[in-house]
Amino acid sequence: DTEVTQTPKHLVMGMTNKKSLKCEQHMGHRAMYWYKQKAKKPPELMFVYSYEKLSINESVPSRFSPECPNSSLLNLHLHALQPEDSALYLCASSQSNRGGVGNTIYFGEGSWLTVV
Amino acid sequence: AQSVAQPEDQVNVAEGNPLTVKCTYSVSGNPYLFWYVQYPNRGLQFLLKYITGDNLVKGSYGFEAEFNKSQTSFHLKKPSALVSDSALYFCAVREGPGGGNKLTFGTGTQLKVEL
């Protein structure tokens, strides 16, 4: 079982709504990630946080706003989304965001987002 | 730039038979290679990785993968497939050591194991 926990598992929101996805890990990891995945496609990196600071933003639209309150928590705030933003949003973590030998990225179960 | 190719969109195999899911990679330096599995409506689960050392890597659920530097391949294998192995499999690569932790994923291979 994954040690990266994501809530909610399912979210339906209107295009004018504001909602948030939440992620928590208790592995002592210092890097956390948000990925977006469409059906049957590989995950696409959105954001990377390293030691609670944003280190990578893959040119994600501003309607997605990440937040890292502490080393165990990662949020993704959603506002004014479009139907094409409907996807599985995966949170992940690793020991650090450097390419060290033991630096495997572990994923959560994901949050299914539907924008109507 | 780094890249991964999974040449088969789908692999079908009978239960009890050996299975192979193919992966080839391209990186400018030493490769760190990973396999992940995604069961229906679930997140990605880490299966195994190659960093250095023995070319045959053993992972979860009886899976193993063989690193072949000359062929730039990292094929996933299992001696005897189970119906429960049916899932979407992703190969991923990043450059190491010293590179960042940005994974490049292949397009995925759907494994279907039939009775």
3-state SS, residue B77: strand
What is the predicted pLDDT for the residue at A100? 62
- The helix/strand count (H/E) of chain A reads as 0, 11
What is the predicted pLDDT for the residue at A101? 61
Rounded-to-integer distance, Cα B74 and Cα B51, Å:
12
Which among B112, B88, B104 is positioned nearest to B5, based on CA atoms?
A: B104
> A1 burial class (0-12, 13-18, 19+ CB within 10 angstroms)?
exposed
Task: Assess whether pLDDT exceeds 80 at residue A24.
Answer: yes
What is the predicted pLDDT for the residue at B88? 98
pLDDT-derived band at B30, boundaries 50, 70, 90: confident
Instruction: Taking residues B7-21, report their average pLDDT.
Output: 98
CB-CB under 8 Å, A100 with B43: no
pLDDT in tens, A9-21: 999 999 999 999 9
H or E, element range at B27: none
Q: How far is CA A10 from CA A41, A46, B65, in A?
A: 19, 19, 34
pLDDT-derived band at A103, boundaries 50, 70, 90: confident
3-state SS, residue B111: strand
What is the predicted pLDDT for the residue at A99? 60
Rounded-to-integer distance, Cα A80 and Cα A78, Å:
7
B12 touches chain A (CB under 8 A): no
CB-CB under 8 Å, B49 with A101: no
Q: Which residue has the higher pLDDT, A103 or B48?
A: B48
List b or e across B58-83, with b for residues whose CB sees 16 or more CB atoms inside 10 angstroms: ebeeebbbbbeeeebbbbbebeebee
Q: Indicate which of B44, B49, B89 best probes the interface with A, i.e. most A CBs within 10 Å of its own CB.
A: B44
Among A25-34, A77-86, B95-104, the range scoring the smallest mean pLDDT is B95-104
Rounded-to-integer distance, Cα A111 and Cα B8, Å:
28
Radius of gyration, CA atoms only, chain B:
14
pLDDT-derived band at A65, boundaries 50, 70, 90: very high
What is the predicted pLDDT for the residue at B23? 98
What is the predicted pLDDT for the residue at A96? 75
What is the predicted pLDDT for the residue at B15? 98
> CA of B108: which chain A residue's CA is closest?
A42
pLDDT in tens, B44-80: 999 999 988 899 999 999 999 999 999 999 999 999 9
B49 touches chain A (CB under 8 A): yes
Task: Assess whether pLDDT exceeds 80 at residue B101.
Answer: no
* CB contacts, 8 Å: B91 with chain A: none
* Residues in contact with B42: Cβ distance below 8 Å, sequence separation at least 6, in sequence order: A109, A110
Rounded-to-integer distance, Cα A87 and Cα A91, Å:
13
What is the predicted pLDDT for the residue at A84? 97
pLDDT-derived band at B9, boundaries 50, 70, 90: very high
